[in-house]
Amino acid sequence: MAKWNLEPATLMDGKKTETVQQIINRLRRKIEVMRLDQKASNSSRHHDSSECLTLLDMLERNLGLSDG
């Protein structure tokens, strides 16, 4: 399992920003995989996964990490 540096830090430090982006990217990928599994098994929980992806998008925008 990957080890992440989760020490509190400001986003002004370029290295810390990269760490935050890496965490967000990993969360996004895990949620995407869960969503696909839930959809394949006809689970209605895939709507919850979609909401989580939307929340990650909002978090990225609020942190100034997204392009759009």
Write the pLDDT tens digit of every residue in 17-44. 667 888 899 999 999 999 999 999 999 9
pLDDT in tens, 41-55: 999 999 999 999 999
Report yes or no: 11 and 63 within 8 Å, Cβ to Cβ: yes
The pLDDT of residue 3: 61
Q: What is the pLDDT of residue 2?
A: 58
